[in-house]
Amino acid sequence: MEAWVVATGLIFLYLVATIVLGVVANRRMTVDMEDFLLYGRRAGFVVLYLTVVATFHSAFAFLGSGGFFYTHGIGFWMAGTWTVLVGAITYVLGTRIWALGKAFGYMTPADMLADFYESEAVRIAVAVVSVLFTILYIQVQAQGLGYIINVASGGRISFELGTLVLLIVAAAYLVAGGLRAVYWTDVLQGVWMYLAVWIGAIYLAFELFGGPIELVRAVMAERPDLLTLPGPEGFFTPGMWLGMTLTLSFGIVFQPHMMIRYYTAIDAKTLKLLGATTPIYLITLYIPTALVGLGGAIVMPGLDVPDRIFPELLFAYAPAWMTGLILAGATAAAMSTLDSILHANVTVLTRDVYQRYVATDRTQAHYVAVGRVLVAVLLVVGYVLSVRTFGFLVVLVTLSGSGALQLMPAILGVCFPGRRTLTRAGVLTGIGAGMVTLYLTLVVVPHPWGMHGAVWSLLVNGVLAVAVSGFTRGPSSETVARIHGEVERFVYGSGEAPPAIEGTS
Amino acid sequence: MSTPGPVPRSHFFPRTAAGRRATVAFLLLFALCMPPFTHTVWNRIEPTVGGLPFLWVVLLAIYTLLVLVLVRVYRNGI
């Protein structure tokens, strides 16, 4: 049987499995916002673990990281720094976000920040940052999906049709089962993508070089420039190392699709175990992609699109069933991120915009129905963004990785009590100035003096947030005592948040 | 910055000895996988370890130790 038939067939089977999971999730769902948008705050360790790692690792980790190793060499092994940092952030910060969410009924990042800083302007700014910079990931993931299915079918299924079909499948199971469906399909996707990338890389290493060690020896002999820093093209400078560490740890965690996951944990202990162990999955996924990228640089040098190295090697050297299995894994990697971003945007738009400003006093079923309509709207937006080229999108995609990083001072101000607090004016000034700096240091003059633009923007943001907070009015004593008191009680008290309080956000 | 009424003590520094030890261990190890170490002392292929380049193995060792710190923190309930 030809490789493209097996590859396309396995992807189809995988899509059927996700639809079935969506239908089953629908039967378990109760029609209220917490269940549809937050899994009823009942996510246990296994489900939460696999949804976090599957969401964190997108099509980029599966295909793009191989391309990075192929082009820039071993420097991408720095991925360990940001993945281990994600674990620590989850342990220290994620648990505090969870406790506050449970205590005060927060459902989105904007809920928490607007409550603490007592400002609707903060809510709007955070919601805009959340949606603007993550909606672009829908485009990125959808394009990845279209590309994968186009490659898997040997060009028989067009990029546009592949993108549309996979977007519809993701939207369908999200509409059917809400976040529960997303989590359950993420479990499948998280396991599939991990096994697929390891099996594919090990197979190729033995097939092409006689084993992983022999592969590395071949790289040492033929391309030693790939095994030291800053790499053949000088990409991994110290400033880039620092900036990528910040952007891809804090910058990803503060995106709504990751922060919302903290709210969904069943208890703090689950979240702490998650923080302690997620780096194991996240780091070890980059071992096989390093083998693929470095080995590919020896076997198939000069690719026009380095991100294609994994599928190109598979089609050239692997059996059809394995190629299908692995490309379905790549589909899983992209879809698990895509569905989570779709869901996060639906949550922000339903909660922070519709419920807050359009229809404040409707039934839970009404808001769930609105959420489902928004999935369809975002599906159309995502598709249009994926198949059309807009000039301004190129700029926004460049900024998107570091956009959520601008929420860092504001979030730390809520979750870490101190002698003084930031103010709404300080936070808003910081976010605004951070965004302008980001534009200047990523687009106008990229990475000045070799330092990643994210570092510059965060410096400007933090300094201005503190400076402006020095002479402007902060949150009321009652609010600070209520929220920081809860953090204090959670961290140094019993360690568990109290029962949820309705309607305080 | 505003100075509201009674608020908890600062959370930016751990209050318990175990918390301080874990924080210092994590930060020191983390510093070892950041510049300048990565771009100077670790930045070499030789000596290889088990056939793998020195930089790769050193970073893997540091990442492993960082995960072990997190696991230990969890097991000790810090």
In this prediction, the answer to ipTM > 0.85 reads: yes
For an interface test with B, which of A76, A77, A278, A472 has the most B Cβ atoms less than 10 Å from its Cβ?
A77
Residue A261 reports pLDDT greater than 50: yes
Residue A459 reports pLDDT greater than 50: yes
Average pLDDT of the residues in A399-416: 88
Average pLDDT of the residues in A135-143: 79
Instruction: Answer yes or no: are the C-beta atoms of A469 and A425 closer than 8 Å.
Output: yes
Question: Distance between CA A372 and CA A365 in Å, rounded?
Answer: 11
Average pLDDT of the residues in A302-330: 88
Instruction: Answer yes or no: are the C-beta atoms of A425 and A465 closer than 8 Å.
Output: no
Give the model's pLDDT for residue B9.
Answer: 78
Residue A496 reports pLDDT greater than 60: no
Give the model's pLDDT for residue A400.
Answer: 66
Which token pair is A361?
């006093």
Question: Distance between CA A338 and CA A166 in Å, rounded?
Answer: 10
Sign of CA dihedral A245, A247, A248, A253: positive
Question: Distance between CA A58 and CA A400 in Å, rounded?
Answer: 15
Average pLDDT of the residues in A318-333: 85
Q: Mean pLDDT for chain A?
A: 89
Return the closest-CA partner of residue B69 out of B20, B15, B13, B16.
B20
Check A238 against B38: CB less than 8 A apart. Answer: yes
Q: Which residue has the tokens 């059996």?
A: A319
Check A241 against B34: CB less than 8 A apart. Answer: yes
Residues of B with CB under 8 A from a CB of A: 1-12, 15, 26, 30, 33-36, 38-39, 43-45, 48, 50-53, 55-56, 59-60, 62-63, 66-67, 70-71, 73-74
Rounded to an integer, what is the distance from CA B42 to the centroid of its chain?
A: 17
Q: What is the dihedral of CA A393, A396, A400, A403, to 10 degrees?
A: -150
Instruction: Answer yes or no: are the C-beta atoms of A493 and A96 closer than 8 Å.
Output: no
Give the model's pLDDT for residue A277.
Answer: 97
Question: Distance between CA A414 and CA A422 in Å, rounded?
Answer: 9
Which token pair is A455?
């570092």
Which of B8, B39, B74 lies at the smallest CB-CB distance from A488?
Answer: B8
Residue B6 reports pLDDT greater than 60: no
Residue A102 reports pLDDT greater than 50: yes
pLDDT in tens, A412-435: 999 999 888 999 999 999 999 999
Which token pair is A269?
């202990």
Question: Distance between CA A141 and CA A149 in Å, rounded?
Answer: 12
**Å between B8 CA and nearest CA of chain A:** 6
Concatenating the DSSP letter of every residue in A110-178 gives HHHHHHHHT-HHHHHHHHHHHHHHHHHHHHHHHHHHHHHHHHHTTTSS-HHHHHHHHHHHHHHHHHHHH
Give the model's pLDDT for residue B22.
Answer: 95
Q: Find, in chain A, the residue whose alpha carbon is nearest to that of B57.
A: A77
pLDDT in tens, A171-196: 999 999 899 999 998 998 889 889 98
**Å between B11 CA and nearest CA of chain A:** 5
Which of A213, A279, A420 lies at the smallest CB-CB distance from B2?
Answer: A420
Check A84 against B45: CB less than 8 A apart. Answer: no
Give the model's pLDDT for residue A397.
Answer: 57
Question: Distance between CA A140 and CA B64 in Å, rounded?
Answer: 32
> Which residues, other chains included, contact A95 with Cβ-Cβ below 8 Å and sequence gap of 6+?
A262, A268, A271, A272, A275, A490
More confident call, A132 vs B2: A132
Average pLDDT of the residues in A132-154: 82
Check A275 against B70: CB less than 8 A apart. Answer: yes
Q: What is the dihedral of CA A415, A421, A423, A428, to 10 degrees?
A: -50
Phi and psi at residue B77, to the nearest 5°? 65, 30
Q: Find, in chain A, the residue whose alpha carbon is nearest to that of B61.
A: A80
Question: Distance between CA A481 and CA B1 in Å, rounded?
Answer: 16
Instruction: Indicate the pLDDT class of residue A138, thresholds 50, 70 and 90.
Output: confident
Which residue stretches of A210-249 are H helix? 212-222, 238-247
Between A306-310, B38-42, B53-57, the lowest mean confidence (pLDDT) is in: A306-310
More confident call, B12 vs A225: A225
Which of B26, B45, B50 lies at the smallest CB-CB distance from A227?
Answer: B45
Instruction: Indicate the pLDDT class of residue A502, thresholds 50, 70 and 90.
Output: very low
Which token pair is A222?
């033929």
